[in-house]
Structure 1
Amino acid sequence: MVHILGPVAARGALLSLFDFKVPAGFPSPAADHIEKRISLDELLNVKAPHIYLVRIEGNSMVGAGIFDGDLVLVDRSIDPAHNQIVIAAINGEPLCKRLIRRGNEVILASENPHFPARYVLEGEELSIWGVVTYSVRSHDPKA
């Protein structure tokens, strides 16, 4: 199950990008370590109105690193290809799955062995609403 939240507003705030990778924890953000200032719009390749946000509900995509409650950025301008994660609708019901194409067969695969793949059957209406490009997860236990 997915919940469409809407388009992403462009021109976000600039954030500091540090010139080192942090293996665990976070050092004191001393000014001499700042490489440049970037925006999340730039980093996540946000090109509104082609990008929109979706909140994921359920655990069928945990193997792909997408968990219940995560936000995903979806790009409608990308032509969906085999093995990409997509937001799709079968007969108007939206879902987040991995797109698998085998000859004439279309499969929307889960990334959790507890959830079966969804085969698109003859006569069903399949719409691909966009390709998932990024996911965002809150690590705040109060969120």
Structure 2
Amino acid sequence: MAVVQVEDRLPGSREVRIPIMGHCLCAGFPSPADDFLEGALELPRWLAPNPPATFLWNIAGHSMRAAGIFDRDLACVDRSLQPHHRSVVVADIDGQMSIKRYLVEDGVARLAFDNPDLPLFAVDDVANVEIWGVVRFTIRWHVARAGLVR
């Protein structure tokens, strides 16, 4: 079997460096987040059309499994997008970052785990909530990540 070497960058490539947040994003009940970056990952611009508003977060937990988001996935979050009914969002809940499903039912916004065993809660019921960004996509690792993230 022949090994083909490909250059890291193709001439004229339109890659952008997207920062990786230095703390895992809780896919469950919120956990404290640190305000630092852990590094960056180069992505094609078409995956991250607004680089200054785009961040990558490591996922920790299993509460978003019905959304196809699993422990140790990497979520690409765009802060410039507005959430709509059924969007997957990153929310700052009382100063703690968490990933949730954004639902609007009867004019009331709710955040939900994508796990039927966990409860819904109205955004108004939580003291301080800010929708931090909308998840564009996730990356699932099928082999060891060799120290790339986390």
Common fold: TM-score over 0.5: yes
Q: Which runs of 5+ in 2 are unaligned?
A: 1-25, 28-32
Q: Following TM superposition, by how much is the alpha carbon of 1:104 offset from its aligned partner in structure 2, in angstroms?
A: 4.2
Do structure 1's residue 121 and structure 2's residue 136 form an aligned pair? no
Question: Which residue of 2 is the match for residue 110 of structure 1?
Answer: 113
Do structure 1's residue 56 and structure 2's residue 62 form an aligned pair? no
Do structure 1's residue 82 and structure 2's residue 72 form an aligned pair? no
Cα root mean square deviation, aligned: 2.7
Seen in structure 2, the aligned counterparts of structure 1 residues 94 and 142 have a Cα distance that, compared at 3 Å, is closer
SS at match of 2:45: helix
SS at match of 1:121: helix
| Contact 1:7 1:51 (8 Å CA) reproduced | no
In 1, Cα distance between equivalents of 2:123 and 2:87: 16
Q: Deviations over 1:61-99 (max 9, x none)?
A: 011110011110000111111210000022112110110
In 1, Cα distance between equivalents of 2:126 and 2:134: 23
Match of 2:45 among 37, 42, 45: 42
Seen in structure 2, the aligned counterparts of structure 1 residues 90 and 112 have a Cα distance that, compared at 3 Å, is same
Query: Aligned letter for 1:114?
Result: D
Identical aligned residues as a percent = 37
Equivalences, count: 115
Seen in structure 2, the aligned counterparts of structure 1 residues 127 and 142 have a Cα distance that, compared at 3 Å, is closer
TM-score, normalised on structure 1? 0.68
Do structure 1's residue 133 and structure 2's residue 142 form an aligned pair? no
Q: Following TM superposition, by how much is the alpha carbon of 1:7 offset from its aligned partner in structure 2, in angstroms?
A: 9.2
Larger Rg: 1 or 2? 1
Q: Which runs of 5+ in 1 are unaligned?
A: 13-39
Question: Which residue of 2 is the match for residue 101 of structure 1?
Answer: 104
